[in-house]
Each structure stands twice: as C-alpha cells, then as structure tokens.
Amino acid sequence: MTETAIKGIHHVTLSVSDLDRTVEWYVRVLGFEEFRRLNHGGLDKAMLRRDGVLVTFVCHGDLADPGPFNERHAGLDHLSFAVADRAALDAWVARLDEHHVVHSDIVSGATGDLVPFRDPDNIALELYTVPA
C-alpha cells in the first residue's frame, strides 16, 4: 500500500476575479510570498507560498462565470489554514483586526478552535488550531 500513499496536499488553486488584488491581499494580510507568475493555457496564474503551504491563484478572464464565491455551489466549501495553538490563533485575530479583515469571534470546532473570515473574492477561509 505504500506505493499509493498520499504524502499531503501539493497545492490548492483558487479562482479569483482580480489576480493583482488577490496576490497583494494574501501577501499583506496572510504573509504569503509570491514566487511565480505565469500564463498557462491562456490563464493568468500566481503561485504563493508560506511555511510550506503552496496556494495558486488563477484568473479565468473572459471565461469566468460572473458573481462572488458561494460555498453552497459544488466545489470548494472553504480553505482552512492550520495554526499551532490558541495563542497563535489569538495573534492571527489581532493581525486580521490590524488589516481590517472582517471575521467572526473564535469558536470551537470539531477538533480545535477556529476563526472564519473571507478574502477579497468572498472565498471562505479559516485559521484552525492543530489538535493536541
């Protein structure tokens, strides 16, 4: 069975309406670093990374369906970033506040504490503590 083992998630790609605005927000608010931009198959893409996490963003241009993100459509419900503990989560809440990012209060989830918020395209994100 080891030959079919999954080692983790390589990357997540999110469709966005404005690539420059999205990259600026993820760099400024979440501390990601942009390390590559490309046009592949007529799609503009940006690759960002932080702490071993790779997130790619794609802008579909004229082929994009109009309208904001909706987690009730088939596809992505939300993207959750793991944080070490409650102290780290509290520090993230302070950072979100510093950047005027609307978020809920910290709540208890199935395996830890979390805080949900949204990016500029209304994509649902959360910061979630790693289970002890």
Domain ranges of the chain: 9-61, 77-132
Q: What is the pLDDT, as a whole number, of residue 41?
A: 85
Q: Which long-range contacts (CB under 8 A, 24 or more apart) does 111-114 make?
A: 113/86, 113/89, 114/80, 114/89
pLDDT along the chain (132 residues), means of 10: 76 93 97 95 93 94 81 86 95 97 96 96 94 78
Say what the pLDDT of residue 90 is: 96
pTM of the predicted structure, to 2 decimals: 0.90
CATH 3.10.180.10 is right for the domain spanning 77-132:
yes
Q: How do strand 107-108 and strand 79-83 relate by DSSP bridges?
A: unpaired
DSSP string, the chain: -GGG---S---EEEE-S-HHHHHHHHHHHH--EEEEEEEETTEEEEEEEETTEEEEEEE-GGGSPPS---TTSSS---EEEEESSHHHHHHHHHHHHHTT--B---EE-SSSEEEEEE-TT--EEEEEEPP-
Same fold, 9-61 and 77-132: yes
pLDDT at 1: 54
Query: What is the fold, at CATH topology level, of the domain defined by 9-61?
Result: 2,3-Dihydroxybiphenyl 1,2-Dioxygenase; domain 1 (3.10.180)
